[in-house]
Amino acid sequence: MTNPSQLIAAVQAKLGPKAAITDPREVEPWLTDWRGRYHGQAAGILAPATTEEVAAMVGCAVTTGTGAVWRTASVRPGERVAVLGCGGVGMSAVLGAVAVAADPVIAVDMSDDKLEAALALGATHAVRWAGDAEATAEAILAASGGGVDYAIEATGRPEAARCAFLSTRARGAAVLVGIPRADAELQLPALSIPRMERRVLGSVYGSARPERDFPAVLALYRRGRLPLDRLITARLPLEAVAEGVDLLRGGAALKVVLET
């Protein structure tokens, strides 16, 4: 198996000095220790029908997106869901909403290609970002027949978070998953919070517990209810890590798998 420092060094070289990883030598001992203590437990949840590339995706975006729907919001069949931002986390939220029979499932994004991909994954409606929160919320209200029960925001942009809140119906909730800038502020119409019982829910890592949720996610994948493999839009050799980062940064890919 490729030494983890090789991959860390390659990513670091691409991302530059502002990346969180400053020295692969500082990280490798931790990875080695982590493998020694937890590798057996992690391997224990993988059934023969689970490929390594699918299992590799579960640890971040997939769990964050599906967990926001299942754990933070506790979406039930027939409830109305909008997902703002159709990247890896947002598209995982779309899959999670479809898996629990939410209806409608409304995908919102600036990219027509991503909206088409969301529809292919089971979203019932696609709404293109209309330039501001109010106009986009109006389109979501129209598509949902009066507002959604849960609006999952997966961009980290205050304007998208405001749109998520405005697109909810009475007693609905905006579920804020995206990480905003440290100095970002969110302005909301305060009166509708007590009068309409609208809520704002924060969601870190989809409110997930890995020991419980990783096996559940993979079980749904094996049963065909959560087609995680369809999120993979590129497979590249390890040496092409820079190309993979560019694909993700440019929005041309949802998930990139590096093969060794």
pLDDT digits (tens, 9 = 90+) for 56-96: 888 889 999 999 999 999 999 999 999 999 999 999 999 99
Predicted confidence band at 12 (pLDDT cuts at 50, 70, 90)? low
> What domain range is 126 assigned to?
60-207
Two structure tokens written together for 220: 């749904």
Do 160 and 226 belong together in one domain?
no
Domain count for the chain, please give it.
2
Do 98 and 117 belong together in one domain?
yes
Q: Which of 131, 176, 166 is nearest to 146 (CA)?
A: 166
Q: Which of 172, 187, 207 is the last residue of a domain?
A: 207
Q: What is the pLDDT of residue 52?
A: 80
Q: What is the pLDDT of residue 10?
A: 59
In angstroms, the CA 155 to CA 209 distance is 22
Do 191 and 228 belong together in one domain?
no
Do 76 and 153 belong together in one domain?
yes
In a 3-state reduction of DSSP, which class is residue 236? strand
Predicted confidence band at 32 (pLDDT cuts at 50, 70, 90)? very low
Q: Which of 212, 213, 215 is nearest to 47 (CA)?
A: 215
pLDDT digits (tens, 9 = 90+) for 108-157: 999 999 999 999 999 999 999 999 999 999 999 999 999 999 999 999 99
Predicted confidence band at 18 (pLDDT cuts at 50, 70, 90)? very low
Give the chain's mean pLDDT: 85
Q: What is the pLDDT of residue 214?
A: 92
24-55: b (≥16 Cβ within 10 Å) or e:
beebbeeeeeeeeeeeeeeeebbeeebeeebb
Kindly tell me if the per-residue pLDDT of 103 is higher than 70. Answer: yes
Do 109 and 48 belong together in one domain?
no
Do 98 and 188 belong together in one domain?
yes
Do 200 and 214 belong together in one domain?
no
Residue scoring higher pLDDT (201 or 42): 201
Do 189 and 225 belong together in one domain?
no
Q: What is the pLDDT of residue 117?
A: 94
Do 108 and 23 belong together in one domain?
no
N- to C-terminal Cα separation, the chain: 8
Q: What is the pLDDT of residue 8?
A: 53
Predicted confidence band at 13 (pLDDT cuts at 50, 70, 90)? low
Do 126 and 179 belong together in one domain?
yes
Question: 181: domain CATH number?
Answer: 3.40.50.720
Kindly tell me if the per-residue pLDDT of 235 is higher than 90. Answer: no
Percent of the chain with pLDDT over 70: 81
Predicted confidence band at 3 (pLDDT cuts at 50, 70, 90)? low
Do 223 and 200 belong together in one domain?
no
pLDDT digits (tens, 9 = 90+) for 152-171: 999 999 999 999 999 999 99
Do 65 and 186 belong together in one domain?
yes
Q: What is the pLDDT of residue 15?
A: 55
